Amino acid sequence: MNTDQVSDELAVNNLQNYMNTYGILSCNLNKYLPAIDEVGGNWNAIITLIEQREVFHCKAYRKRTTYLSKELYYLLKPHKQQTASLPDFSKKILNFLSEYGPANTTTIKNVLFLSNKEFSIHFDLLLQEMLVTVIKKDSTINQTWSSFIWGTYTDWEKTTNCYRDKDDEYLIELLSKSLSSKEITKLMG
């Protein structure tokens, strides 16, 4: 086993331990939440956990790329996933993914005739509401970034176990390990 394999395995373990305790992590450095590398993880490790359905990729917290543990995803789900107020383009993206299955960004934009700007605006709304997520890596761009195959939350849920046996009190207790009460209220919004 080479050094990269060992470090990736250790990084996966570090991320799993962190997510089991706190449930929420940021992609990039910021003042609100720890980032992947701050807790001993790396890009390959987070991709591994996403592909194993141990982590849900979204923008539910402060419109930033955020990773949720399975447990936190299922606890937070009732507070998100609102479709009624979505703009038409967001609904078209969601309907496309629901009907045709997971696809990469280029395919979604081409099929729906969306500009980069339109796609970004409307896709971000879907990520914020936890309606879409990364299903798997599409291609590696560099050591710290990849393109993705996107799918709906139902695509993601097909291969996970439901943890919705706990209530909002537990959700708040879990989030209190990382966030202030004001931030929890915003997240649960």
Over residues 96-120, the mean pLDDT reads 97
pLDDT at 1: 46
The Cα–Cα gap between 39 and 167 comes to 27
pLDDT at 5: 55
**Cβ proximity of 96 and 155 under 8 Å:** no
33 inside domain: yes
Over residues 43-51, the mean pLDDT reads 96
Locate 170 and state its tokens: 């537990």
**Cβ proximity of 26 and 33 under 8 Å:** yes
CA quadruple 69, 72, 77, 80: dihedral sign = negative
- Domain housing 139: 3-183
pLDDT at residue 2 tops 60: no
pLDDT at residue 99 tops 90: yes
Q: Which is higher by pLDDT, 151 or 142?
A: 151
pLDDT tens digits for range 115-146: 999 999 999 999 999 999 999 999 988 888 89
pLDDT at residue 3 tops 60: no
Per-residue HEC secondary structure of the chain comes to: CCHHHHHHHHHHHHHHHHHHHHCEEECCCCCCCCEHHHHCCCHHHHHHHHHCCCEEEEEEECCEEEEEEHHHHHHHHHHCCCCCCCCHHHHHHHHHHHHHCCEEHHHHHHHHCCCHHHHHHHHHHHHHCCCEEEEEEEEEEECCEEEEEEEEHHHHHCCCCCCCCCCHHHHHHHHCCCCCHHHHHHHHC
When divided into structural domains, the chain yields a total of: 1
pLDDT at 7: 87
189 inside domain: no
Q: Across the strands, what pairs with 145?
A: 142
Locate 61 and state its tokens: 């917290």
Measure CA 41 to chain center.
Answer: 16
pLDDT tens digits for range 52-63: 999 999 999 999
Place of tokens 């761009």: 141
Place of tokens 């592909």: 51
pLDDT at 71: 93
Angstrom distances, CA of residue 6 to CA of 3, 11, 130, 143: 5, 8, 32, 16
CATH number for 114? 1.10.10.10
pLDDT at residue 82 tops 60: yes
34 inside domain: yes
Over residues 34-44, the mean pLDDT reads 95
188 inside domain: no
